[in-house]
Structure 1
Amino acid sequence: RADAAILFRLDGEARILRAAAGAGQVSPDLVADLEVPVGRGASGLAAAKERSVWTANLYDDPRVPVPDDVKQRMRQEGLRSVLAVPLLIQSGEVFGALAVFYRSERAFADADVELLSAFGTQASVAIENARSFDHLALKAGHDAALQDFCLRLLEAPDEAAILRDAASVTTALLGADCVGILRHDATADYLRLDAGLGWKPGSVGVATVPPTEWFAGEAFLHRRSVEVADLGREQFANPPLLAAHGIRSGIAVPFGIREQPLGVVVACYRAPHRFSDEESRVLTSLAHQTALALEKVRLYAELQAGLAELKEMQAQLIQADKLTALGTLLSGMAHELNSPLSTIEVSIELMKRQASLPGPVRARLDVVEKECERASQIIRSLLVFARRTPPERRPVDVTDVIRAALTLQAPEFDLNHIRVVTSLDPIPRIWADPHQLQQVLLNLFSNAVHAMKSAHGRGVLTVRSSDAGATVSVAVEDDGPGIPAAHLGRIFDPFFTTKAAGEGTGLGLSLSFGIVESHGGRISAENIAGAGARFTVTLPVVERPEVAEAAPSPVVPATRCARVLVVDDEDQLRKLVTEVVIGLGHQVEETPSGQDAVARLASHDYDVVLLDVRLPDLDGKAIWRRLLVDRPALAARVVFMTGDTMSAETQAFLTEAGRPVLTKPLTIERIQRAVNEALTAPSVHEGART
């Protein structure tokens, strides 16, 4: 039985064996930084000669020369004799060596060598399997990043955005020092650096290189990928652009559409670099997708130019109910996408908390984290489209907004001989964006002035406000000709207008419709008996507590172990939230089912309930309402989770519930804050339930 064993891994470029793992009577300090040159010591000789090597006395055996520093460290460990065998993987490549040590002098028999060789063979097989797994995992990660890249390309607005994203993804996946996307200028016959990362200021958009002078030109001219492991040892020239950046190696992949070459994507390094098949595959795929996206943008620009002549037809393509449907669709999509984004972001945070995480892995995780934020921004952008601009809400006095809008419009009233009459009742403050509400009123005032001026060159504008308890209303009336019956159902349609060409875009009322709806309200139009029209804006009285405006306080660690129920139908996200809460020192139960959650809540007490609003069988809204009736004390422990923050229905429910909300994507800090805040509520005491 050996006293100690060490597995060494070969660094082929440095020609050094580095200790990778140890077992037995050997100190961790030795394994942490032990290095043996190839050809020295039993392990180095075994790797060099690809056969077993042993010595009964590693301190005094001329057949097995051991570096003095290694001897000293072995002496400190009390190790004297050693048997080492090489580790060969399936391709015949030397992976490293496996060595066993003894504290006494020992001669090794053939049986000892055969036994350790058998162990070495098994270890080699395991290592080969692990390497295959690592390769598959790396490939899966690359494929996921490339898929995300392709999805973003579908929404890229122009060539510049495509090129920037392509350079960013190439840098992230290949870890190159300089990445460039060069397109060919057929007139001047050179490759121009149109986009890239890692280059000196003033290079991108300016630097040019003739295609005949370097390896990237070779790739472009012959339409094949070119890899250069060391520019100092190969026949390719080193143009000034590369020399100025200290480039020593690189890979270039051409891209184009059909038979038309467009340019090359290059990844360059400041040190020699041997390129793998996976790196070549990734860059080839990325170059291909970039070419398709550039072609898509070009075709889209041509299509837009052709559709310009049909712009008048757009008025009949979008209607107010379609905007509502779009908002519903995007809200649902946000929920579906924010859940997996939460899973990814929380997973990254958990992984980055591991102190032993290698630097390159941590750097890759940083990249993934940034890409998650990019995905979140894409979702937010889609929601902004559905709601125009995100409301910047605060407590608002609607009367003040009305008076401010009237003041702004006063010069137009005077110019067009419009008399203003107001009847403003006292109304409560609401939670709203005053600038957006003012925009709605200005649109209504402007339309009223136009109608009255067109009808009889003057008029009376009446503005009324009223309080209905749960809602407040603002009515804008004019004494113009009214709205033709045929137009009443279309006036909120985008691009619909009755004004002469050049006098209106047809967007004012549709924008007003979207703004009011995003506030959870409604806007309607009707004709007044006799003459004139009335527009009524109705908004919910929902005033957010002032305390919510305070800056978030630092997260205070929980002082007791709580019992927590996590309810979410997204399996991976639910398990991660459970892991985070357990890590906070609490006991956790989890379920994907609303029905199961109801059963648990009926028979158990919980200190905190993390409840997803949307569930496939019984949603969080129904569960909450049951708790209010059956177990109101437990309802005070609910924290809602949702990825649907823009739906008017969801907003109204969350406001009604008045409970804390965790919006997705989630983070560990926000989960911890929500749990700790929920624990500050009074304890649950509802009998002897367990």
Structure 2
Amino acid sequence: ADAAAIALTTDADTFRIAHATGPASPLRDKTFAIGDLPMGKETLSGRPARFENIFDSKDGPNPAAAYLMADPVRGVAIIPLLRRGERIGAIAVGSRAPRLFSDAEVARLETLADLLAVALANAELVETLRQAEWRFRTLFRAAPDAVLTMFESGRIREANDAVRDVLGVYSLQAIGRTLDEFAVPVERARVKRELARAFAGEAVRFEARFQREGTVHTLSLAARLLPEATPPTVLCVGRDVTTERDMRARLVETERLAAVGQLVAGVAHEVNNPLSTISAFAQLLLRDGGLSPDQRESIDVIQGETVRASQVVKDLLTFARRSESQPQPLDLNELIERTVRVSSYELGGKQIVVQTMLAPLLPCVHGDPRQLQQVILNLVTNAVQAMAADGSGTLRITSRAEGDKVVLEVADTGPGVPERARAHIFEPFFTTKSEGTGLGLSVSYGIVTAHGGSITIARTSRDGTVFRVTLPCDDDAVGETLSLASESVEPALEGVRMLFVDDEPALRSAMLAFGKLRSLAVTTAHDGNAALSFVRELEFDVVVCDLRMPGMDGPAFFDVLSRERPSLASRTIFVTGDVVGEASRLFLDSSSQPVLSKPFEFEKLEEAILGLMTQSLEAVQAW
């Protein structure tokens, strides 16, 4: 034969000349409609065909002839290619001279066609396998989670690119090492046990802590034995869930704090009311001129302890209160003292000595008291945790003014901040301690920055660490603070008619005794409804009313009073023993009436009453 060609079907209607030699070479890689060529027609028929001179065929024009005019092929034999009964193409041999191929030659060509069909099938299988392997490799390398295969010895056989984000090494560096090498020491035995369970045929899921670039991370791992793998191989998929766990813990902590805040608010109300009664009677006793020095000293102690207990409750309320940022002029020293009081029990239990060196006459800062107290508390907590390993230590808190800045420093005697951690100390979720979420310092950084200040590590060594917070002064608040401090009021309230509304019987009794001592005409009511009955029948100069009471509470009473007796409503003082919620805060802001926190000092109450009476008198005179 002078020429040969192999044609393969590409779809139901066309085929391509996959290979051609001799005079048929111009046909290579050409595509034709199956019905246009003798090869296509014989492919469809599934039967061999012979032509002594293809140009004498009565099948009509042959599109391939145009490619063969320079060196025409005349004698042709065509054998279909069959694969499991499927027609996949044909082979053709030809000669330049007219010739009719013999039956023996056709039989040999059919044998060759069978071998070629098998070879093509094998080639297609190899290509399919190659494509499948390429897809597997691509999926394996591009998987977002770390994917590893391991031998029964525990050594890593394969690792994808994501192992870099999970174990901290590149895939080639992981191969040949064991997975437990990357775990923290206390977790290595458990990692080995879990992988042994996987090699025993169990589907294993577990979490363990691993070291990565000097920090500890929590990984969630799933391992399973690959079926029919030789040698036995386990597939392991791992994901870093440290951030998820920290966020979940933070959410739980936030919900817990919210519940604690609600509990504190309720407890505060129940605690402040009896404290108010104790304080009131102690103040009344102190006004008795017949007390001996010892008796007066004892009552002073009672009064002082009442004030201290009340301050602790107020500090807890301030910390637990959840509200929007409310910037105002602040005395940073007062915030420091309040935070130390809140933390005193924990500090005493850990044998930590607290030293405060607060500058007198410290300029005010402008900020949100709750947020800045959170910063101080975070720094104190951080210092306490740093000294926890030693079981004792010294916490030193200092404040001072530097130019137009106020500086707060919190120092501890802990082991210091490791050098590698200093650049990350204010990053969220970064921590060098086994306890905590790693959010305290990052939250503090955000708060201080929002207040126009800065927070830094002033110095750190094996002898301890000093954190420094710098905040801008609020110069506008200085004159205001001094003027308030210099005011002195000498109340003169004899004969004033006061309506006192509170649900606590003991406190109402104390107020009656106070009125008798100060020559006030005091009428008491246990709720708003009872108070309205008195208002409708009697005349009063001033009303002192609790905010929260069973039945008609303070805001509801004030609303009715404003409609029926607007002038008396303008002379109303509110008292409260619990946290002021958002609704109460909006009410107090809209009413613009004075508010006293329980337990209150009688002097403060007298000043408030005198202030309202003076305003009322000035309004009448102006009218």
TM interval, short-chain normalised = 0.3 to 0.5
TM-score, normalised to structure 2, is 0.36
TM-score, normalised to structure 1, is 0.33
